[in-house]
Amino acid sequence: MPELPEVEVCRLGISPHIINQQVTKVVVRNASLRWPIPESVQKITGQVVQSVERRSKYLLLRFSTGTLLIHLGMSGTIRVIEADIAVAKHDHFDLVFAHGKALRLNDPRRFGAVLWFENHIDEQGLLTKLGPEPLSDDFNYGYLFEKAKNRKVPIKTFLMNNQVVVGVGNIYANEALFKAGILPTVKACDISEKRYDRLTDIIKSVLSAAIKQGGTTLKDFTQADGRPGYFAQSLLVYGRAGQECFTCKTTLLEVRQSNRSSVYCPSCQLP
């Protein structure tokens, strides 16, 4: 599943190709995504993309009269290609531009979304309850500690709550907790402010490093073969259950939390 760094790399990858470009045609081949693609998306025809932004895992294409919201779901990919490239299976949506390019969404599992909202009004509650961006100044020392007071959920579950902070998905929650030396099962309310401040720094550094690493794949967002352009990670614990910890050689263990895999080192990570 694309996580925040992958979506940010996607934003960086497509932006130079579509900003200030006029939409000449909107093609909806299958409207049955997570939410039905509304017929109102046709209003984009003739309009110019003013900016491409990201909020959490949502891509926001801004026009003078509204916002096109795109979510990649669990399996979606988006790329800028020549408009006459043959359509592949699961190519559900295109924005065709005057310069001969098209922004094409491919989504085999159809958990993604394409929605149109007029007049830049907040996206109908999809964004209003979201927590701060983890790389913003709003995600600062003391923030997590204050939010965690009286929260008895496991720290990993707490971090993955988008109302607490957006974009700390399963992969990066595993990695950040390992680097911070915190067990994923410890209650959020039982962690000290000092440890939370260190965790804040680590979350920022882990996500920043992932975005920087993904920068080498930006060209993939203009390839016709549909390669996602996401990037192989140098992961310390995620996906490595049963293998040795790189730090202490202890065997990494795995537990299920909220139907997600949590991999940790019983020696390096403490309550």
Q: Answer yes or no: is 195 a known binding residue.
A: no
Distance (Å, rounded) from C-alpha 81 to C-alpha 78?
Answer: 10
Quick check: is 29 catalytic?
no
Compute φ and ψ for 229, nearest 5 degrees: 80, 5
Residue of 5, 6, 8, 57 with catalytic role: 57
Quick check: is 2 catalytic?
yes
Q: Which residues, including other chains, have CB under 8 Å from residue 81's CB and lie 6 or more apart?
A: 101, 102, 104, 222, 223, 224
Distance (Å, rounded) from C-alpha 110 to C-alpha 91?
Answer: 10
Q: Answer yes or no: is 151 a known binding residue.
A: yes
Tell me which residue of 223, 225, 222, 164 sits closest to 196, measured CA to CA.
164
Quick check: is 110 catalytic?
no
Residue of 54, 147, 204, 260 with catalytic role: 260
Quick check: is 54 catalytic?
no
Tell me which residue of 154, 59, 65 sits closest to 115, measured CA to CA.
59
Rounded to 10 deg, the angle between the 193-214 and 170-180 helix axes is 130
Q: Three-state DSSP class for 218?
A: helix
Residue 134 CA, distance from chain mean position: 12
Q: Answer yes or no: is 54 a known binding residue.
A: no
**Feature table: binding site for DNA:** 90, 109, 151
**Feature table: binding site:** 90, 109, 151
Residues marked active site are found at 2-3, 57, 260
